[in-house]
Structure 1
Amino acid sequence: MEDNTMDLQNTDLQGGTLQISTEVLAKIARCAALEIEGVAGVSCGKQNKKLSNLLEASSIQTPVAVEMRDGTATITLHLMMRFGARIPSVAEKVQENVKNAVQNMTNVTVSRVNLVIAGLADADAEQQ
């Protein structure tokens, strides 16, 4: 049984604890990835939007996965890249932005940001 919350010890809080769901960490990671030029979307691959939303809702394969181990997070994102983007360069920027965003917003240490390039969006395709 997977625990979807993490207890954070924060000395700035008096009289209580802070728990942040891994779903919140995943949402931060998704938003941070989408801020990078060259990323067309965070998705498991080329599906139509209805199928993609159904898969995400049923958790068959989620586009963002967060694994907590020994107080640190490993984040895996499935990305759709824009046609013409230099994938290695964009990937480095995504990794850095995701790691910084999660750590700055939550104080959770991110040990790794793994990326899976799940597809390539056409130059004319709308952003997912």
Structure 2
Amino acid sequence: MAKSKTVPFEMNQNPAGEINITLSVLETIAAKAATDVEGVNKMHTSFQKEVGGFFGMDRERMGATVKKEGNNLTIDILVHLQYGYSVPDVAFKVQERVKEQILFMTDLVVQAVNVHVVSIDTNPDRDTGFLSLEDELGE
């Protein structure tokens, strides 16, 4: 079994031992934070990634990938958005939410969050709350 990559966790106090956080933990936090943003329908997964994840072979199954280069953390998020939301606004909120949650939960600073919008999902059964032209004209 391959050893998973970890990020050292530095504490200001005298630690009783070493603390390491695996990249998969950071990916889980990032994926959950992204799905909590209004307008995000779901994280991107594919059948191949889900099958690979079942066998423990693929970290990208959650739609979030963390890259560590030196002391810099970069996160790539692949999302499906709901129809009717501003793509730039939702993407910015995802970036802020992911950075905030990683910092809050791990005290690690993320340098960049790259949001990749895979699709805009439309669901005719869902009430989007939009006014139609008839509603505005009072008909």
In structure 2, the CA distance between the partners of 1:31 and 1:107, relative to structure 1 (3 Å rule), is: same
Name the structure 2 match of 1:115.
115
Post-superposition shift, 1:51? 5.2
In structure 2, the CA distance between the partners of 1:104 and 1:65, relative to structure 1 (3 Å rule), is: same
| 2:51 partner letter | L
Name the structure 2 match of 1:99.
99
1:14 corresponds to 2:11: no
Q: Among all aligned residue pairs of Structure 1 and Structure 2, give the percentage whose two residues are the same amino acid.
A: 25
Q: Bigger shift: 68-77 or 22-31?
A: 68-77
Q: Relative to total residues, which structure has the larger strand share, 1 or 2?
A: 1
Distance 1:60 1:13 in 2: 33
Provide Cα deviations, 1:76-98, integer angstroms capped at 9, x if missing partner.
01000001111100110000000
In structure 2, the CA distance between the partners of 1:67 and 1:125, relative to structure 1 (3 Å rule), is: farther
In structure 2, the CA distance between the partners of 1:95 and 1:60, relative to structure 1 (3 Å rule), is: closer
TM-score, structure 1 normalization: 0.82
Question: Can you give the 5+ residue segments of structure 1 that lack an aligned partner in the other structure?
Answer: none
Determine which structure has more spread, i.e. the larger CA radius of gyration.
2
Post-superposition shift, 1:7? 1.3
Post-superposition shift, 1:118? 1.0
Question: Can you give the 5+ residue segments of structure 2 that lack an aligned partner in the other structure?
Answer: 127-139
Provide Cα deviations, 1:1-30, integer angstroms capped at 9, x if missing partner.
985111122123522111000000000000
TM-score, structure 2 normalization: 0.76
Name the structure 2 match of 1:85.
85
Distance 2:27 2:83 in 1: 25
Q: Which has the higher contact order (CA 8 A, sep 6+)?
A: 1
